Structures are given as C-alpha cells and as structure tokens.
C-alpha cells in the first residue's frame, strides 16, 4: 500500500500541471461564436447545394388525388386516434380521457395556411407530441392536404369550388 507521503507528491504535481494548463488556455487565440472572418467562422460557411435549413419546411409537393389519398392513409394512422376520422377532435384516445384537440372546422383552422398544419405535425402543439421523427416531410404535406380536404368536405360542395380547384380533382 502506498502511504500518504508517496501519494502527496503525485497530487501536488497534478495540481501544478492543471493550473499551468489553465493559464495557457485562457490566453490562446480563439474565435468567438458567430464572429465573421476567413478562419472558418459560421458566417463564412456556404452550405452545400440542396441543403434545407433545419427550421425550414420541405417543399410543398404538387397537389393530386394520390397525395390526398396518401394523406388520408397517414392521417388514419397518426392523427385519427385523437382527432377522429372526420377531424372533429373526438377520437378514441380522447374518449378515454386525453385532452380534446381542436375541431378542424373551427374558423381559425379553416383560415390557417397549409404550412400551419405542417408545422404542428413537425413540432407538436399543446399536448400534441412532435411527429417529425415519425412522419416523413412529404407525408406531413399529404396529411395537411387531407386536413384541408376534410375541412372543405364539412361545409362546401363541389359546386362551391372554383374552376381551378375542380380541375385539380380530376
């Protein structure tokens, strides 16, 4: 066994080395966060082509019947347990005590852009968990398109659609 007189010099030597290293660390040249310059600062970095910023939405896919059908499939899997199949916020999970999500036919949600639904699916909202890791970006857009179709189906008829919207349905 080592005695205190054998361990003490090792501890003292370690402390001397540690305090000496701290002095050199404090005076070494360094860059501050977000400082511009040519030595690799974040302001000088050009992202590779095709890079999408982390907080940016994926590009909106062209709207088609196939996209809406895909959205219905994904909605039935991920959304209907809470929001119900018709989007009135009275799904099976809610009937068992979970807080009521909003009804998609509420005026504020009918007026909301598709980006709102994409963002809510991505980041969550209120008691809703974020689904970014579970639902692919194209499927999020498809779900948003299907939600819009659900909203339109509750109040509007085909006769209420514009000629351009009618053409998209074919």
User: Mind listing the domains of the chain with CATH numbers?
Assistant: 65-169 (1.10.760.10)
pLDDT band of 22, cuts 50, 70, 90: low
Our CA angle for 70, 150, 86, nearest 5°, is 95
Contact 90, 100 (CB under 8 A): yes
Strand partners, 125: 128
Helix axes 137-155, 114-123, angle to 10 degrees: 130
pLDDT band of 124, cuts 50, 70, 90: very high
Contact 122, 99 (CB under 8 A): no
SS3 150: helix
Please identify which residue in the block is written with the tokens 């310059």.
37
pLDDT over threshold 80, residue 95? yes
Q: Please state whether the predicted TM-score (pTM) of the whole model is above 0.85.
A: no
């Amino acid at each position: 066994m080592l005695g205190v007189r054998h361990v003490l010099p090792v501890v003292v030597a370690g402390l001397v080395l540690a305090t000496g290293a701290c002095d050199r660390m404090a005076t070494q040249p360094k860059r501050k966060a977000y400082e511009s310059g040519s030595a690799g600062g974040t302001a000088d970095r050009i992202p590779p082509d095709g890079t999408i910023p982390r907080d940016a939405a994926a590009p909106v896919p062209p709207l088609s019947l196939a996209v809406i059908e895909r959205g219905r499939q994904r909605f039935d899997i991920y959304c209907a347990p809470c929001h119900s199949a018709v989007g009135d916020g009275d799904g099976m999970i809610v009937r068992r005590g979970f807080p009521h999500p909003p009804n998609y036919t509420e005026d504020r949600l009918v007026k909301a852009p598709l980006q709102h639904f994409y963002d809510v699916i991505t980041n969550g909202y209120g008691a809703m968990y974020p689904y970014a890791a579970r639902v692919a970006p194209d499927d999020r857009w498809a779900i948003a398109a299907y939600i819009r179709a659900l909203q339109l189906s509750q109040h509007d008829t085909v006769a209420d659609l514009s000629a351009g919207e009618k053409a998209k349905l074919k």
